[in-house]
């Protein structure tokens, strides 16, 4: 008997208990397009927000592509590829997460049309690869503006362009200044002598109350935790910092260990010894010269009192990631135990980190600890806002702009925004496609058309006439790419959309710029994702096995 029973449509039922979908049916299940439809209205400076409510009832309001897609329960395997794509773009560049999904979905939609017209998927994939390679080369050679010495103005413009589509775009230059100052504060030089800007070294604190405009940036690490005791000094100068990952609390016997005693007086001795074991640890830590103790666990009042008497301060229950960051910045070593290889309890002075000062400051109704003057530069941003939803979205927006500023400083090239790059590449690729004498010509032409989905969607979201604006934009870029174009025409390649007034403008002059790396990565990632989904021609979905009922259960 045959192992597969064919149904009328292109779906077969497998003898192993599952469904097999093959051929064009797989490609036409447009999970990609429906996912792109969810995020595309959030694109651009006048994009709208989405509200996601999960199964517990937690609410998230955002217009950040990666955040929205992370919170969607995507069942379809091809859809999952797109979600992963947005996440990757967010990790590598920080911005352009919505655009990358919109382009990938558009490429798939057009590939479906081509397969219906009889073009083989392999030819489409080859065409897309050629299109992507040419597009990236064209952006790098002709559109990217190399900035030899990046001035503050350029960085502010980059931050402003990123923030314009977010919740923080309404506050003028305030957050752009914060983003640029914070990124510049964490500059380091790697082993090749190149500057690096680790965005993770910038800690973001979210404190409710006050208006967003009162958000500030400070140099140093800020921790959203108070001191372990209110009696501790408010400020410690010339701080020697011990970072520990163990409890400073009374020693308790392990599970299953019990002590049998005949004399009740011995009980008191045991209790006293339990306190003394940890007391000895604290004495050893203080003897090494430490006057600040940062711990990921708790500390008992008895030992907090010892620290107060010795003019030392302690902060407890710090998250491990934060403690790692502080340890790296101050030069401390995180200790998980005080036992050395011989089994003795010691605390070496070499494990301590140093900072100029550690102080506790009060913000709104919360106490925060600020560590300043560390060995490695660090920076913290204190965000103020009305409620949790707003603060979360502000943090996501700020993170995006910090990433883009960092990327521009590392790669030192920018491109004009507002759909300028996509329109220029579209015109270039259409001309390039007509020089190809193979069937890939069709795929390259479709790749070029797919890019126009970005300026078109930007115009639609801004309630402007997208057909009219995109046609004008293409005409401008076409004129700039003419072989005999004069300098005034060449400048047209920087023209993009001005969505507030519904016109075209020179976005290089207007200061609407983005990292060139963001656009190149976006095209590469979107093409790879589209190709990954196009390669699939068979989907086999197994039906989960039902647990067998035990006949003796009743």
Catalytic residue among 60, 98, 278, 330: 98
Are the beta carbons of 47 and 502 closer than 8 angstroms?
no
9 forms beta bridges with none
| Residues 142, 155 share a domain | no
Assess if residue 18 is contained within a domain.
no
Q: Say whether both 125 and 28 belong to one domain.
A: yes
Distance CA 544, CA 359 (A): 57
Six-digit token string for 401: 């702009």
R_g (Cα) of the chain, nearest Å: 30
Q: Are 453 and 103 in contact (CB under 8 A)?
A: yes
Cβ atoms of residues 458 and 43 within 8 Å:
yes
Assess if residue 440 is contained within a domain. yes
Distance CA 29, CA 451 (A): 22
Give a yes or no: residue 54 inside a domain: yes
Same domain, 252 and 183: no
Domain finish residue from 387, 410, 433:
410
Verify that 35 and 132 share a domain, yes or no: yes
Please name the residues in contact with 200: beta carbons below 8 A apart, sequence gap of 6 or more: 325
- Taking only the tens of pLDDT, the chain with its 554 residues reads 344 444 445 566 656 677 777 776 766 666 778 888 888 899 888 888 889 898 888 888 888 888 888 888 887 777 888 888 888 888 888 888 889 999 999 999 899 889 888 888 899 999 999 999 999 999 999 899 888 777 888 899 999 988 888 888 888 789 999 999 999 888 888 878 788 888 888 889 999 888 889 898 888 888 988 998 888 889 999 999 999 998 888 877 777 788 888 888 788 888 888 788 888 889 999 999 999 999 999 898 888 999 999 999 999 999 998 899 899 888 899 999 888 877 788 888 899 999 999 999 887 778 889 998 888 888 899 999 888 888 998 998 999 899 999 889 888 889 998 899 999 999 999 999 999 888 889 999 999 999 999 999 999 999 999 999 999 999 999 998 888 767 778 888 899 999 888 899 998 899 899 999 889 999 999 999 889 888 888 778 787 777 776 666 55
* Nearest Cα residue to 400 out of 41, 93, 110, 117: 93
| Active-site residue, 13 included | no
Q: How far apart are CA 286 and CA 274, in angstroms?
A: 19
95 is catalytic: no
pLDDT of residue 10: 59
- Does the predicted TM-score (pTM) go above 0.85? no
Would 3 be classed as within a structural domain?
no
Is 400 a known active-site residue?
yes
CB-side neighbour CA atoms (13 Å) of 430 = 15
Q: Are 123 and 111 in contact (CB under 8 A)?
A: no
Name the token pair of 315.
Answer: 């902060």
**In 378-419, which ranges are continuous DSSP H helix?**
388-411
Using N-to-C axis directions, what is the helix angle for 440-451 and 453-461, rounded to 10°?
20
CATH of residue 395: 3.30.260.10
In a domain, 454, yes or no: yes
User: Does 337 lie in the same domain as 295?
Assistant: yes
- Is 55 a residue of the active site? no
Tell me, yes or no, whether 428 and 517 share the same domain: yes
- The domain of 203 spans 149-220+378-410
DSSP assignment of 70-84: HHS---SHHHHHHHH
Residue 399 sits in the same domain as residue 453? no
Residue 339's beta-bridge partner residues? 345
**Co-location of 160 and 84 in the same domain:** no
Q: What is the CATH number of the domain that holds 307?
A: 3.50.7.10
Measured in residues, the chain has a length of 554
Q: Which residues contact 351 (CB under 8 A, 6 or more apart)?
A: 242, 243, 288, 332, 333, 335
> Is 398 in the same domain as 343?
no
332 lies in the same domain as 382: no
Please check whether residues 157 and 130 belong to one and the same domain: no
Domain end marker among 332, 351, 370? 351
Flag whether 362 is in a domain. no
Question: What pLDDT shows up at residue 417?
Answer: 87
Count: domains in the chain: 3
21, 60, 64, 67: the active-site residue? 64
Domain's final residue, options 390, 410, 430: 410
Quick one: tokens of 552?
A: 């003796």
Let me know if residue 15 belongs to a domain.
no
Question: Which of 21, 60, 67, 97 does the annotation list as catalytic?
Answer: 97
> Looking at the structure, do residues 420 and 525 belong to the same domain, yes or no?
yes
| Residue 136, token pair as written in the block | 């990236």
What is the reported pLDDT for 295?
93
- In CATH, what number is assigned to the domain containing residue 60? 1.10.560.10
Does residue 205 form part of some domain? yes
| Among 95, 181, 400, 498, the one annotated catalytic | 400
């Amino acid at each position: 008997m045959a192992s597969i029973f064919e149904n009328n449509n292109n779906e077969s039922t497998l003898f192993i208990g599952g469904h097999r979908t093959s051929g064009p049916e797989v490609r036409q299940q447009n999970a990609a397009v429906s996912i792109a439809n969810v995020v595309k209205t959030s694109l651009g400076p006048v994009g709208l927000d989405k509200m996601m409510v999960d199964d517990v009832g937690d609410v998230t309001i955002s217009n950040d592509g990666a955040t929205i897609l992370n919170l969607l329960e995507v069942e379809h395997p091809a859809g999952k590829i797109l979600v992963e794509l947005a996440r990757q773009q967010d990790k590598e560049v920080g911005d352009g997460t919505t655009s990358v999904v919109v382009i990938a979905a558009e490429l798939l939609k057009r590939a479906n049309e081509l397969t219906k017209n009889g073009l083989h998927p392999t030819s489409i994939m080859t065409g897309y690869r050629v299109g992507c390679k040419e597009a990236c080369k064209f952006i790098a050679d002709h559109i990217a503006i190399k900035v030899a010495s990046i001035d503050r103005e350029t960085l502010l413009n980059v931050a402003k362009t990123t923030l314009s589509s977010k919740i923080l775009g309404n506050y003028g230059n305030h957050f752009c200044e914060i983003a640029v100052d914070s990124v510049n504060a964490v500059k380091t030089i790697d082993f090749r002598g190149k500057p690096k800007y680790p965005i993770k070294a910038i800690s973001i604190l979210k404190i409710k109350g006050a208006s967003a405009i009162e958000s500030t940036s400070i140099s140093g690490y800020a921790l959203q935790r108070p001191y372990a005791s209110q009696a501790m000094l408010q400020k410690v100068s010339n701080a020697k910092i011990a970072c520990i990952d163990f409890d400073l609390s009374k020693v308790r016997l392990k599970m299953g260990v019990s002590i049998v005693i005949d004399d009740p007086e011995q009980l008191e001795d045991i209790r006293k010894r339990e306190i003394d074991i940890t007391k000895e640890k604290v004495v050893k830590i203080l003897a090494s010269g430490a006057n600040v103790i940062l711990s990921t666990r708790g500390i008992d009042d008895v030992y907090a009192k010892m620290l107060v008497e010795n003019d030392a301060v302690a902060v407890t229950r710090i998250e491990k990631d934060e403690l790692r960051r502080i340890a790296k910045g101050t030069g401390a070593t995180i200790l998980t135990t005080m036992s050395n290889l011989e089994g003795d309890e010691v605390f070496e002075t070499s494990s301590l980190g140093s900072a100029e000062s550690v102080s506790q400051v009060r913000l709104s109704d919360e106490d925060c600890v600020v560590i300043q003057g560390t060995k490695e530069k660090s920076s913290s941003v204190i965000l103020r806002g009305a409620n949790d939803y707003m603060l979360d979205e502000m943090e996501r927006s700020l993170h995006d702009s910090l990433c883009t500023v960092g990327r521009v400083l590392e790669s030192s090239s920018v491109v004009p925004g507002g759909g300028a790059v996509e329109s220029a590449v579209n015109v270039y690729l259409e001309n390039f496609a007509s020089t190809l004498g193979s069937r890939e010509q069709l795929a390259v032409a479709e790749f070029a058309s797919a890019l126009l989905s970005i300026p078109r969607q930007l115009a639609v979201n801004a309630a402007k006439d997208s057909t009219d604006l995109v046609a004008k934009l293409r005409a401008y870029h076409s004129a700039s790419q003419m072989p005999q174009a004069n300098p005034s025409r060449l400048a047209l390649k920087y023209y993009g959309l001005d969505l507030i007034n519904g016109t075209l403008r020179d976005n290089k002059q207007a200061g609407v710029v983005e990292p060139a790396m963001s656009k190149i990565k976006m095209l590469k990632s979107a093409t790879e994702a589209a190709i990954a989904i196009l390669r699939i021609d068979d989907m086999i979905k197994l039906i989960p096995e039902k647990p067998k009922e035990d006949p003796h259960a009743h």
